[in-house]
Amino acid sequence: MKKLIWMAIVLFTSIASFGQKKKDLIAQVAKLKTEATEMKAQLNQINKSREVNLEDDLHKFSYAFGVEIGSNLKTVGVDSLAYNVFATALEETFSGKERISAEEARTVVQKSIQEIQEREAKELSEAGELFLAENEKKPGIVSTASGLQYEVLTLGNGEKPIASDKVKVHYEGKLIDGKVFDSSVERGEPVVFGVSQVIAGWTEALQLMQVGSKWRVYIPQDLAYGQRGAGGSIPPYAALIFDVELLSIEK
C-alpha cells in the first residue's frame, strides 16, 4: 500500500513538473515571438533609414558629401570605417557634444592615415623586391649594377641614344600584378621625349638599347617613382614593368 502511495506521489509530482515546464516553454516561446517582432521592426527602421532619395535636396547633399569623403579616404588608403561611430560623431558634433576637440581629432586622423600609408608602402616595397629577386632567376633576364632588369624581345641594329638625345618610342607600362597603367600602343601614337627627362630606369635602359629594339624592362621602385608614386595609377614604392620599343633617335 505504501508503495502504491509513493508511486502516486511521484507520478503526481512528475505531472505537475511537466505542466510547469510546459508553461515555462510557452512563456519562452511568447517572449521569443515578441523579441522577433521587435527585431523585425528595428530592421525595418534601419532599412528605411538607409533609403536614399536623390530627388530630395538634403538627401542629395548628404549622399554627395559621403561620396566626396569616401573618395578622399580611398585616395589616402582608408577602405573602411566603423560607420555607426562615424554617424554618432557627426550627430554629437552638430549638437556641440563631441567627445574630443577638433584639434585632437585632426591629430588622430593624420596619425592613422600616416600609419596606413607606411604599412602599405612597406608591403608594396617588399612585394616589388620579392618579384625582382624571383624574376632575376628567369632565363634571358639581364640585371645591371643599379638593379635594373631587362629582357630583349626584339634585337635592333641601329644606334644607341645618349643622355642628351630625344627618342621616339612605343611603350606599355604595368604594375607587377599585370595591371596596365599607361600605353602609347593603346593610344596608337608613339611619344617623343628626352632620354634624361624620364625616370632613372628609363634613362638607363634607353642608353643600352639600339634603335629597332624592343625590350621588357623591370624597374625597381628607387629607379621609378619611389615614395611619391605617380597620380592615382602608380602607388608609392611600386616596382614597374615596361615594354619599350625604340623607334628612332630624333635629330
Domain that holds residue 172: 77-251
Q: Which residue in the list 150, 218, 237, 242 is annotated as catalytic? A: 242
Q: Is residue 65 within a helix (H) or strand (E), and if so which, with residue range? A: helix 57-75
Contact 212, 158 (CB under 8 A): yes
In this structure, is residue 9 part of a structural domain?
A: no
Is residue 181 part of the annotated active site? The answer reads: yes
Is residue 150 part of the annotated active site? The answer reads: no
**Total number of domains in the chain:** 1
In this structure, is residue 148 part of a structural domain?
A: yes
In this structure, is residue 34 part of a structural domain?
A: no
Is residue 199 part of the annotated active site? The answer reads: yes
- pTM of the full predicted structure? 0.62
Q: Which residue in the list 150, 218, 219, 225 is annotated as catalytic? A: 225
In this structure, is residue 18 part of a structural domain?
A: no
In this structure, is residue 5 part of a structural domain?
A: no
Q: Return the pLDDT at 8.
A: 47
Instruction: Report the candidate in 100, 105, 241, 88 with the shortest Cα–Cα distance to residue 178.
Output: 241
Q: Which residue in the list 199, 222, 243, 249 is annotated as catalytic? A: 199
In this structure, is residue 7 part of a structural domain?
A: no
Q: Which residue in the list 182, 218, 219, 237 is annotated as catalytic? A: 182
Q: Which domain CATH number covers 140?
A: 3.10.50.40
In this structure, is residue 28 part of a structural domain?
A: no
Q: How far apart are CA 52 and CA 19, in angstroms?
A: 52
3-state SS, residue 80: coil
- Reading the chain (251 residues) residue by residue, the pLDDT tens digits are 555 444 544 444 554 555 555 566 666 767 777 777 777 776 666 666 567 888 888 888 888 888 888 888 887 778 788 888 888 888 888 888 888 888 898 898 888 888 887 888 888 889 999 999 999 999 999 999 999 999 999 999 999 999 999 999 999 999 999 999 999 999 999 999 999 999 999 999 999 999 999 999 999 999 999 888 887 788 888 999 999 999 999 87
Q: Is residue 193 within a helix (H) or strand (E), and if so which, with residue range? A: strand 191-194
Q: Which residue in the list 63, 181, 193, 249 is annotated as catalytic? A: 181
Is residue 242 part of the annotated active site? The answer reads: yes
Q: Return the pLDDT at 10.
A: 45
In this structure, is residue 111 part of a structural domain?
A: yes
Is residue 193 part of the annotated active site? The answer reads: no
Is residue 9 part of the annotated active site? The answer reads: no
